[in-house]
A and B are shown apart, each in its own frame.
Chain A
Amino acid sequence: MPEKPIKKLKVAILGSGNIGTDLLYKVLRSSWLECSMFIGRNLASKGISRALTLGVSVSDKGIQAIQDNPDCCDIVFDCTSALSHQIHAPILAALGIIAIDLTPAKLGPFCIPSINLDSCLDGVNVNMITCGGQASIPLAYVLGQTQKQVDYIEVVSTIASKSAGPGTRLNLDEYIETTEKGVQMFSGCSRSKAILNLNPAEPCINMQTTVYAQVPQLDLPALQKGIAIMVDKIRQYVPSYQLVIPPTYENNRVIMSVRVKGMGDFLPSYAGNLDIINCAAIAVAEKFAMAKVDGRG
């Protein structure tokens, strides 16, 4: 483990909404990252006001702020929108700035920190898939790694209604298709299904993701071991990722379930679904920072 660098890696946050603001708090807490700019489109936005009180430089010029000052950062977290990211991505690539894409644009490769973080370091753009994806794909991956054959994987996520904004609600189909794609990619299993439930109960529930699988010659001990290791790995960057149903074989299926409580940095703690993507994005950026110190970046 390299020593703490003297100089932190500079990151900019593009998108001053709730996601961006939560990321800001995480960056401020990080030993590897420093936020050189918090960028939005309206200086009067709540996020920008907060950033100012936290002593962070702000701009309302959008991507222009980075174009005007390309040395300001090495990495950009883009939490604007898929449409906007399609405009931002080539600009950032041309400037040699790494883009961590938290939108559904999916221009760069899918990244799951606990699985393929290192290979993502070679690229200029990584996509953080979906919340259900970040929670379930590591488990699907372990299935693929520990089992001779996996016929089918199903991922069911239930999130608090309050943590699903209008964007999520209008794009459920896209969430499902992206998650399924990610599950297939990382597990090696060609048949997958993703389901999403919204639950309005108050007090708000934490995100829960259950993974089912059809495994013809199940090696349960290997699965349980692999999952336990993976859960620990994830808890390195998502502290309250908790296994609530350990891998179990019952009713002709493998079942396991995790619950994610958010860190509550800015987003409420029930929004574990949003938090897990942010934590994953931070993990990616920190790895870039570590690699740079190692001389790789």
Chain B
Amino acid sequence: MGEVEMSKVIISDVTLRDGSHALSHQLTEAHIVAYAKAADAAGVPIVEVGHGNGLGASSLQVGLSLLDDRKMLETARANLVHSRLGIHVIPGFATINKDLKFAFEYGVDVVRVASHCTEADITERHISYTREKGKEAYGVLAMSHMASKEVLLDEALKMQSYGAEAVILMDSAGAYIPIDVLEKVGHLSAHLKIPVGFHAHNNLGMAIANSVAAVEAGAQMIDGTARGFGAGAGNAQLEVIVAMFLRLGIETGIDLYKVLDAADIVEKEIMQNIPYISSVSLVSGMAGVFSGFAKHVTLAAKEYGVDPRDIFFELGARKVVGGEEDKIVEVAMELQKRKKQG
């Protein structure tokens, strides 16, 4: 890839999707209306809406959604005039026939198809289908701290071949530090024909720094949530990123005051607590475990009378991936047994 002017970045706002984990997917209609309106007014380019694990992911495994997918999309669409409506889709959770097909009837513009960072070939069908429908398809590589830059490029090349118009590297565990970002985002930016994006989490306090590093390394898309709304230590704080890019002379097309207003709305009307790096979140990041497991781990720790930090380290040792919430229960039970046996 040749010289790219470091002057424009597309912000993908995942407040109403990744943020959902923080509320155990109990986002209400009022929440969606209030935030969608505010994000749209602020000029946020893409507003992603849905269950924390995306379309069709309302489940006993990850958590049941208060609103069903159609309701969420319908509500969001009605309140987004200029912003594009995006969804997150994980093959293995969502199927084309049952889930993706109808999403387009609700006015979805952007579909981000996600897989674990080594399993991109499961996204072929969903990406192709989205492109056939004329909508924007991006590929997402989740838990990307778990693979080398060479593997990530290989997987991203697959997504590119399927018709993905961008590949987003997710730091789903909040495990990256800036030098990792420079290396991985840089490698992909240099070898892909499509833009690279980055999605940060704050378990090690690096979300903003990582997002800035990503852009330095060539990323043209950055994810964030208002006030960092998200499970555990939360995501990259959207309004801080906007401010940061303002300082660095990077165009986002987002109005500073209005995005700050949007963050205030989330803080006052949607969040139950402002995310911070708790002991458990820190351990989660160190163990390299999916940050969306936070509430499940806390619950299981209480239920089985074990230390949540132990659960996280054990999950990390087992190299558990996103979508494997059932292992949390198994690990908690095992730790309980071990405790009883002294």
Are A195 and B95 interface neighbours, CB within 8 A? no
Which chain A residue shows the least CB distance to B92? A196
8 A Cβ contacts from A188-228 to B: 193, 195-201, 208, 210, 212-214
Contacts of A214 in B (CB 8 A): 60
Contacts of B327 in A (CB 8 A): 158, 208
Are A201 and B318 interface neighbours, CB within 8 A? yes
A198 to B95, CA, bound (A): 16
8 A Cβ contacts from A129-162 to B: 152, 154, 156, 158, 161
Contacts of A208 in B (CB 8 A): 326-327
Are B122 and A198 interface neighbours, CB within 8 A? yes
B227 on the A face (CB < 8 A): no
A253 on the B face (CB < 8 A): yes
A294 on the B face (CB < 8 A): no
8 A Cβ contacts from B51-74 to A: 59-61
B208 on the A face (CB < 8 A): no
Chain A interface residue count, CB cutoff 8 Å, equals 33
Contacts of B125 in A (CB 8 A): 170, 172-173
Contacts of B96 in A (CB 8 A): 173
Q: Can you list, as one digit per residue, whether each of A222-246 has a CB less than 8 Å from chain B (1) or not (0)?
A: 0000000000000000000000110
Contacts of B122 in A (CB 8 A): 169, 172, 198
Shortest beta-carbon distance, A22 to chain B, in Å? 23
A176 on the B face (CB < 8 A): yes
A80 on the B face (CB < 8 A): no
Contacts of A250 in B (CB 8 A): 303, 329
Chain B interface residue count, CB cutoff 8 Å, equals 32
A177 on the B face (CB < 8 A): yes
Are B92 and A161 interface neighbours, CB within 8 A? no
A251 to B297, CA, bound (A): 12
Which chain B residue shows the least CB distance to A154? B60
Q: A158-B324, A195-B323, A201-B319 are in contact. Are A172 and B91 (CB under 8 A)?
A: yes
A256 to B27, CA, bound (A): 28
Q: Can you list, as one digit per residue, whether each of B79-113 has a CB less than 8 Å from chain A (1) or not (0)?
A: 00000000000011101111000000000000000
Q: A154-B61, A176-B95, A251-B299 are in contact. Are A166 and B330 (CB under 8 A)?
A: no
A65 on the B face (CB < 8 A): no
Are A198 and B92 interface neighbours, CB within 8 A? yes
Give the contacting residue for B60; candidates A158, A198, A199, A253; CB below 8 A: A253
A255 to B332, CA, bound (A): 13
Contacts of B320 in A (CB 8 A): 199
8 A Cβ contacts from B281-328 to A: 299, 303, 318-324, 326-327
A163 on the B face (CB < 8 A): no
Contacts of B303 in A (CB 8 A): 250-251
Contacts of A16 in B (CB 8 A): none
Are B121 and A166 interface neighbours, CB within 8 A? yes
Are B116 and A257 interface neighbours, CB within 8 A? no
B333 on the A face (CB < 8 A): yes
A144 to B245, CA, bound (A): 57
Are B121 and A169 interface neighbours, CB within 8 A? yes
B119 on the A face (CB < 8 A): yes
A255 to B95, CA, bound (A): 24
Shortest beta-carbon distance, B48 to chain A, in Å? 21
Residue among B61, B119, B124, B146 having the largest count of chain A Cβ atoms under 10 Å: B61
B118 on the A face (CB < 8 A): yes
Contacts of A170 in B (CB 8 A): 121, 124-125
Are A177 and B95 interface neighbours, CB within 8 A? yes
Are B59 and A154 interface neighbours, CB within 8 A? yes
Contacts of B322 in A (CB 8 A): 197
Are A255 and B329 interface neighbours, CB within 8 A? yes
Are B326 and A255 interface neighbours, CB within 8 A? yes
A166 to B125, CA, bound (A): 12
Are A210 and B61 interface neighbours, CB within 8 A? yes
A245 to B319, CA, bound (A): 19
Residue among B121, B122, B318, B321 having the largest count of chain A Cβ atoms under 10 Å: B122
Contacts of A161 in B (CB 8 A): 118-119
Are A195 and B92 interface neighbours, CB within 8 A? yes
Are A198 and B299 interface neighbours, CB within 8 A? no
Contacts of B60 in A (CB 8 A): 152, 154, 212-214, 253, 255
8 A Cβ contacts from A44-85 to B: none
Shortest beta-carbon distance, B116 to chain A, in Å? 6
Contacts of B116 in A (CB 8 A): 197-200
A208 to B59, CA, bound (A): 17
Which chain A residue shows the least CB distance to B93? A195
A87 to B6, CA, bound (A): 58
Are A210 and B95 interface neighbours, CB within 8 A? no
Are B324 and A245 interface neighbours, CB within 8 A? no
Residue among A172, A193, A208, A214 having the largest count of chain B Cβ atoms under 10 Å: A172
Shortest beta-carbon distance, B118 to chain A, in Å? 4
A220 to B327, CA, bound (A): 22
**3 pairs of A and B residues whose beta carbons are closest in the complex:** A212-B60, A201-B319, A210-B326
Q: Give me 30 A-to-B residue pairs in the complex whose CB atoms sit less than 8 angstroms apart, sorted by A's number.
A: A154-B60, A154-B61, A156-B61, A156-B326, A158-B327, A169-B119, A169-B121, A169-B124, A170-B124, A172-B92, A172-B125, A173-B96, A173-B97, A177-B95, A177-B97, A177-B98, A195-B93, A197-B116, A197-B324, A199-B116, A199-B319, A199-B324, A200-B118, A200-B119, A200-B321, A212-B60, A251-B303, A255-B60, A257-B326, A257-B330
Q: Which A residues are closer than 8 A to B by beta carbons?
A: 152, 154, 156, 158, 161, 166, 169-170, 172-173, 176-177, 193, 195-201, 208, 210, 212-214, 244-245, 248, 250-251, 253, 255, 257
A-B contact sample (16 more), CB < 8 A, given A172-B95, A195-B323: A152-B60, A154-B59, A154-B61, A156-B323, A158-B326, A173-B97, A197-B321, A198-B122, A199-B324, A200-B321, A244-B330, A245-B326, A245-B330, A250-B329, A251-B303, A255-B60
